[in-house]
Structure 1
Amino acid sequence: MGCAHGKCCGHRPRSSDSDSREFQEVSQFSVHGKHILTERSIECVPVPSRNFRLEYSVLTQRGYYPYSPGKENEDSFCIRTQVQGNPNLHFFGVFDGHGLFGAQCSNFVRDRLVDILANDPRLLLDDPANAYSSAFVRTNHELHDSEIDDTESGTTAITVLVVGDKLLVANVGDSRAVIALKVGDRVLAEDLSSDQTPFRRDEYERVKLCGARVLSEDQLDGLKDPDIQTWGDEESEGSDPPRLWVQNGRYPGTAFTRSIGDSTAEEIGAIADPEVSTVQLTPDHLFFVVASDGVFEFLSSQAVVDMVASYPDPRDACAAIAGESYKQWLAHGSRTDDITIIIVHVKDLRNAGANAARTASLRTGGGSSNSSFTTASEMYRSMRSEISVFETYQCTISNNRSHAIVVPSLLRTPQS
């Protein structure tokens, strides 16, 4: 959703890891009024400690901005397998930049966050969740100290670290991670993250205590009563959400309450401390999705999971979700957001805890206790002795596909 001033130009995103060199931004060219998505690869990586594998694909698509035709994609992503040289640690992250230097912020965080995390010895010792949180906070400080002007620019970050047969999820902002759970004949979506916006009462109260004015743009302009501090939900009020403003100004206007960068918004409560959660994978977990809010602005978590479940090939699912997201954006206005989506299938997982999987929140960034990280710490300790047992390798699934995938035309604004 970004800031009130929109998303501006920046550098073209790329993956920060050599394992993901096959992945690239989809090209945009017109054929009979259609925009074609180029071919993407499927990659797979084993998790030898639990004898299963991850099969994944990614798509990133620049948004359609009719008044800024030269604007580049401010989304970026990072896929890094074998973090710290460990064949059982794999990182997936999506970063959604915003503001004048949003692309630079997104790319900076994409490159630095996983490096900081990978170099923290606590990751394989007794404090993995705090290592994860510290990586976010340190990246934020480094961005402040960099040559990038993050006064009113920054990025959200949604990341998943696969740790053997567990996921460690860390999030700042309103991008999202979702996992699919098979229950009987149904495939249900379970959110792995919670959007951090003023729609959440706890986040609203936190930023108010830090000095933020929380108002929608209509309230700021006097078109609606500013004293009514309830806004319904994101689905019904997404076009004019509550935003963070300084007390006597019309800035920064962020529609999220946590981010990396955004030094002005940080002064009124927009922190970089992530919310961290862990989930035990079971054979009933089919896949998980990590995506920017360009996907989730108009599609629910369940709708995204339903679409992934409809396509055996994650490349087709990525393209279908991108196409539907574009369609919904254009149905609601004259532009689309940048869209980035990573789909990771969990293959051949078998363990004894199939009915015990549920997401457990590990609260960080203010008020967390060390005891909250017991489960995550134990899982890392158990893995340390397994590293040398397994031969590391990575496989690539053939990318020989003859078909092109078509998404809605972006050459004209739809009729109202």
Structure 2
Amino acid sequence: MGHFSSMFNGWARSFSIKKASSSGNCGGREAVEVMAKEAKKNDLILHSSGFVNVNGSNNFTSLYSKRGEKGVNQDCFIVWEEFGGQEDMLFCGVFDGHGPWGHYVAKRVRESMPSSLLCNWQETLAEASLDPDFDLQAEKKLHRFNIWKHSYLKTCAAIDQELEHHRRIDSFNSGTTALTIVRQGESIFVANVGDSRAVLATMSDDGNLEPVQLTIDFKPNLPQEAERIIQCKGRVFCLGDEPGVHRVWLPHEESPGLAMSRAFGDYCVKDFGLISVPEVTQRNITSRDQFVVLATDGVWDVVSNQEAVQIVSSTPNRAKSAKRLVECAARAWKRKRRGIAVDDISAVCLFFHPCSIQQVTVPKES
């Protein structure tokens, strides 16, 4: 409790309270950029296939991406250990681009989100700590969640606005999903825009690892998503040669045909129901929770939650867990979806405890 209180007071003293401008800048932007540069220099940030294992950290993160058969790889990811200079914080995320400029959009959002989120979090934290009605002792966990949720909502709105006016990236018919996690101490905060998915592996009472899906795949046919799109005059339907694949269409054109209902960019359908608002959730990590998998739909289209947990938990070397999951998914594509071009496939495996998983069994699906 003392550490968390001092952190509130420290941010309040260190960052001036300024309203965000239309570009999403905040009072601590320069300080955040310095933090990011230092983190890169100290190998605390990784955005290529590999792993992050900082001495003394409870986190171990494995990352891997494989280009599909549709051209350039439009997936990307990031891990930032000691996020914001805080030893007990980590940020990681996966981004799945689509459209002609999708790989540029995905990389731009990956580049912008961590710093923008950290900046907005610092501002929100400082503002909350200076509020005379703020009572940290009463509802610490609730306040933490509300602060992160507010910061994520503000960040995503600013990023989407910035993308629309970016001079070098054409996001009118291109976009990206974004699935990110912040670990702060023994809590994780998950924010999802799109149809990538986060799955937690947790120990059951009988000693088996079980999957817990932490996010919703935001597909256009979900009732609440379809209702919003239709109310905005957009359309949702499947093409004849893609039964079961619901897409978002303009009112009077068979375009763009987006297979997700939330994304950054894609301004051609932003007035017709597509949104970039994240779903933000929280989970408190227990000793039973072993790891979480963040992956693009290239994994989940062919690998079940249970299979993903089994693959990762049975990999002897945790550093290779993401690569093994991606390679298993690539083989499953060729087996289950013959004649369909393999999608880009990317995964981040975030382990919560420094010790390897010992003596656990993952029951296979029947």
TM-score normalised to structure 1 length: 0.67
Shift of 1:345: 1.0
Q: Identify which of structures 1 and 2 has the higher relative contact order when contacts are C-alpha pairs closer than 8 Å and 6+ apart.
A: 1
Residue aligning to 1:313: 317
SS at match of 1:44: coil
TM-score in terms of structure 2 length: 0.75
Name the counterpart of 2:228.
206
State how 1:63-74 maps to structure 2 within 5 Å: 63-65=68-70, 71-74=71-74
Residue-by-residue CA offset, 1:191-240 (whole Å, 9 max, x unaligned)? 1111111231111111111111111012xxxx8xxxxxxxxxxxxx7x64
The equivalent of 1:136 in structure 2 is 156
In the alignment, structure 1 segments of 5+ residues that lack a partner are 1-14, 26-39, 48-52, 66-70, 224-236, 350-416
Residues 10-409 of structure 1 mapped to structure 2, 5 A cutoff: 18=40, 19=43, 24-25=48-49, 40-44=50-54, 46=56, 53-65=58-70, 71-120=71-120, 121-122=122-123, 124-125=125-126, 126=128, 127-147=147-167, 148-183=169-204, 184-218=206-240, 240-331=244-335, 332=337, 333-347=339-353
CA distance 1:23–1:83, shift in 2 (3 Å): closer
1:338 Cα deviation from its structure 2 partner: 0.9
Question: Partner amino acid for 2:207?
Answer: D
SS in 2 for 1:253: strand
Q: Counterpart in 1 of 2:13?
A: none
Distance 2:89 2:202 in 1: 22
1:283 deviates by 0.2
The Cα of 1:173 is off from its aligned counterpart by 0.4
8 Å CA contact 2:96–2:178 kept in 1: the answer is yes
Using the alignment, how far apart are the partners of 1:315 and 1:82 within structure 2? 19
Q: Deviations over 1:69-92 (max 9, x none)?
A: xx3211111111222211122100
For 2:326 and 2:83, the matched residues in 1 are separated by 29
State the Cα distance separating 1:20 from its structure 2 match: 5.5
CA distance in 1, matches of 2:329, 2:47: 20
Does the 8 Å contact 2:68/2:345 carry over to 1?
yes
Partner of 1:234: none
CA contact (8 A) 2:48 2:77 kept: no
1: CA distance, partners of 2:220 / 2:74: 23
Q: Gaps spanning 5+ residues in structure 2: where? A: 1-35, 129-146, 356-366
In 1, distance between residues paired with 2:53 and 2:197?
A: 22
Alignment match, 1:393: none
Number of the residue aligned with 1:406 = none
Following superposition, the deviation at residue 327 of structure 1 comes to: 1.3
Structure 2 counterpart of 1:297, which letter?
A: D
Is the Cα contact below 8 Å between 2:59 and 2:354 reproduced in 1? no
Corresponding pairs, count = 293
Higher helix proportion (structure 1 or 2): 2
- 1:20 to 1:98, Cα distance in 2 relative to 1, 3 A: farther
CA contact under 8 A between 2:289 and 2:352: conserved in structure 1? Answer: yes
Cα distance in 1 for partners of 2:109, 2:265 equals 9
For the 8 Å contact 1:307–1:321, the answer to whether it is kept is yes
Task: List, as ranges, runs of 4+ consecutive aligned residues in structure 1 with deviation greater than 4 Å.
Answer: 20-23
Identical columns (%):
29
What is the rounded CA distance, in whole Å, between the counterparts of 2:319 and 2:351 in structure 1? 11
Q: Does the CA contact (< 8 Å) of 1:45 and 1:55 recur in 2?
A: no
Per the alignment, in what secondary structure is the counterpart of residue 262 of structure 2? coil
307-316 vs 277-286, which moves further: 307-316
Deviation at 1:334, TM superposition (A): 4.1
